[in-house]
Structure formats: structure tokens, C-alpha cells
Amino acid sequence: MSKSKTITLEEKHGANNYAPLSVVLVKGEGCKVWDEDGKEYIDFMSAYSAHNAGHNNPVLMKAFLEQAQKLVLTSRAFYNDKLGPFLDTLCNVTGLDMALPMNTGAEAVETAIKAARRWGYRVKGIPENKAEIIVSSGNFHGRTTTIISFSSDEDDKTDFGPYTPGFKEIPFGDADALEKAITLNTCAFLTEPIQGEGGIIIPEEGWLRNVREICTKNNVLLILDEIQSGMGRTGKNFAYEHEGITPDGLTLAKALGGGLLPVSAFVARRDILELFEPGSHGSTWGGNPLAAVVGKVAIEYMVEEKLSERSAELGAYLLEELKKINSPYIRDIRGIGLWVGVDIDPDKISAKEVCMRLKEAGILAKETAGTILRFAPPLVIDKALLDESIKRIRSVFAEI
């Protein structure tokens, strides 16, 4: 099947809810992928950080295949022998008490919203249907109806109303605004510690520590969305570790599935999650034995292979080298770990055009927030391949 035929079929029968680059991928291994013409690319996208351990990681793949031949799905109508060990590993690595497994990141966030509201009513004593959750401007937590109701992106919301009430937006990274926004009906502050879709927006040092203190003082839950920033991406296992704090709740997905299948979870304090009872929440596939095995091994691989340490070391090197690029097309370069945003001047060239030129040079990346090139290679990348990637990126800007 030719490339044009492949794309034609997808465009004919698939909803037009994505704008992919014109490349059809058929194979992946480690930090590289190949298209149907056999051309090799270095993956600087990692499927939005789902491939932190690389494509077809042999350790994760072995666990996946072994379990797939034994038992894949039981539903939660029965116990399975893999879920308990996964939850134990997940709670140990996060420092929290309990977890509710789901499939996608949006499902994890929806679970967190329900948990926060129930805690607000049953523990904090908020009057019925009055619970408020504070969120950050520029946020991205998913695209379900409830989540888009507090999105700052109008493209996410247009013609999808009416919207779910109960959310209040404050500027991202502004601790004073959080304190002023809290009322007796505030049950939680839900935020990303670092905004990925927003363009790799990194708040000032100390912000998250201040937020932790404010939430504790006001009896408000601090719930962090680490669906992209977690699992080693920022140079720590989880971004909140940079500030030495622990959230009350945490949403995880993407790399938790090892790039093999969707695995997500809401992890939280016991007094929050013990408020659920049979029938109050669930998912047929959430916590299935195949997902549980992959999730457990993905966490163990992250820790044993010191992916966060690799991300910190190589990420600092990548950021330093990219900042040496002297180009009038670049307005700013920022990053943490192997997660870098390159802000392109839209008056000179579009970020999408740069992505297309990078593709021709064998680097796959994708723009976000309109003007930002997001560079997020698998955390297993070695320095030699990183140097080759930097060389290609420099050549693209030189040609521009």
C-alpha cells in the first residue's frame, strides 16, 4: 500500500480530529522508527512521552508477551493475581497509599475529580453540589466533556457545551492567586507541575512548595497531573520530587503503559480513595492483568535503569547544546530533563513548517501551543544518538 493510499484511507474514514505530519510509520525500536518506504527517523516525540522506555523495549515486551499468553482480561468482577503487586509497586514509588487503575489519562483525571468532590462532601463538609476545584490557566488534562469545561483552549470547547460547572481558573504558577481563590467550598487544586501541551512551561522554583503549604493550611487537596511529566521525564521519577513535596493525589498514564497499551491510575491518600465503594466508579479494562504486569515492569524498569538520572544528565546537555543555536527564528529555549520547548517566532516561520523540515532531516517532532517545538526523545537515548540529533537540528535551522 503506497503512502498516499494509506493516508487517503485514513482521511476518508477517520474523523479529522488530528493534524499528523505526512509520514506513515510501520516499525519502531528503541529511539528510532521507520516509515513504509524504509526511511529511518529519530523519535523526538515519544508518543507524548508514552515511549519513555523506547519502542518495543525488550524487558517490557517480554513481560507483555508472557502475560498475554496467560490471561489478559477478567474485568473487576473477579480478582486477578497481577493487580495487587502492581498497585503495591505504584504506591511504593509515589509515596502514596492507594490507587485506582484506569486506562487513559483522561479517565485518571475524571477519577481524580470524582474523588476530590466526594472527599469534599464527606470529609470536609462542603454543602451538596457546591464543591469547587481550582485549576491553572493554560492547562491540558484531556478532552472529555467535564475536562474541556475547565480548559483554557477554546478549540477544545467550541460547540461542545453546555459545560460542567464547579471549576475556577487561576494563572499558572501564581501561588498568591491560589490563596485568594480558595473558599470554604474549595475541595482541590488540580494542576500540572510543569505544563507540557502548554509549551513546556516551567514555574518559578518554590511555587509548588508554596502551593503545598497553602493547600495544607486551607484543608484543600493538592492533585497533580503527571501524565506527561511523570515516569522520569523531568529528571526525577515525578516532577513534584524536584520540590521535595508529596501531593494528596496524582494522575499517571502514558509511560505507565510502557508504550505497549493504555494504563493509567489515580494514586492518592487512603482517606481519599477509601471513600469509593462498589459501584461508585469503575472500568471493564481498568486494572486488567496485562496492564497490571506492564505497569509494574514499567515502574521497575524506570527505577532499575535510572531513567530519571539519565533524563537529568542528557537533558541538561541537550538544553545546553540547543541554546548554542544562533537563529533569528528562535525566541526562547527552555527545558527540564529530556523535555525541551523551542519557541519559534511565528512572524518568520511556523513551528509546523520547522517540524516538516526536521522530518526531512530524519527527526520526528511535533509543535504544541502553536509556536513551540517539543523535543522529548525516549529516556533510553544514548549520547551518540543525541549528538546526531542535535547535529540534524542545527542543520535544519542553518538551512532555514
pLDDT of 139 strictly over 70: yes
Catalytic residue numbers read 140, 225, 254
pLDDT digits (tens, 9 = 90+) for 188-237: 999 999 999 999 999 999 999 999 999 999 999 999 999 999 999 999 99
Residue of 321, 345, 326, 343 whose CA lies nearest to 334: 343
Q: Cα angle at 43 between 35 and 343, to 5 degrees?
A: 125
Q: Answer for the pair 281, 72: CB distance below 8 angstroms, yes or no.
A: no
Ramachandran region of residue 363, left (φ > 0), alpha (ψ -120 to 50) or beta?
beta
| Three-class DSSP category at 142 | coil
**Considering the chain, what percentage of its residues have pLDDT values greater than 70?**
99
Check residue 76 and give its pLDDT.
Answer: 96
Distance CA 114, CA 268 (A): 13
pLDDT of 1 strictly over 70: no
Query: SS in 3 state form for 205-240?
Result: CCHHHHHHHHHHHCCCEEEEECCCCCCCCCCCCCHH
| 332 beta partners | 343
pLDDT digits (tens, 9 = 90+) for 62-108: 999 999 999 999 999 999 999 999 999 999 999 999 999 999 999 99
Check residue 106 and give its pLDDT.
Answer: 98
Average of per-residue pLDDT across 25-36: 97
* Full strand arrangement of the beta sheet holding 98-102: 98-102, 264-268, 249-252, 221-225, 186-191, 132-136, 167-170
Compute the CA torsion angle 170, 106, 375, 369 (nearest 10 deg): -50
Check residue 158 and give its pLDDT.
Answer: 95
| 342 beta partners | 333, 373
Residue of 230, 306, 297 whose CA lies nearest to 58: 297
Q: Residue 3's pLDDT band (boundaries 50, 70, 90)?
A: low
Check residue 4 and give its pLDDT.
Answer: 78
Average of per-residue pLDDT across 364-368: 97
Average of per-residue pLDDT across 299-308: 98
Cell of 54: 523506547
Average of per-residue pLDDT across 116-135: 98
Distance CA 149, CA 4 (A): 37
pLDDT of 5 strictly over 70: yes
pLDDT digits (tens, 9 = 90+) for 307-350: 999 999 999 999 999 999 999 999 999 999 999 999 999 999 99
**Considering the chain, what percentage of its residues have pLDDT values greater than 90?**
98
Q: Look up residue 66 and give its amino acid.
A: E
Q: Which domains does the chain have, with CATH numbers?
A: 3-56+308-399 (3.90.1150.10), 71-304 (3.40.640.10)
Lowest mean pLDDT among 147-156, 249-258, 284-293: 147-156
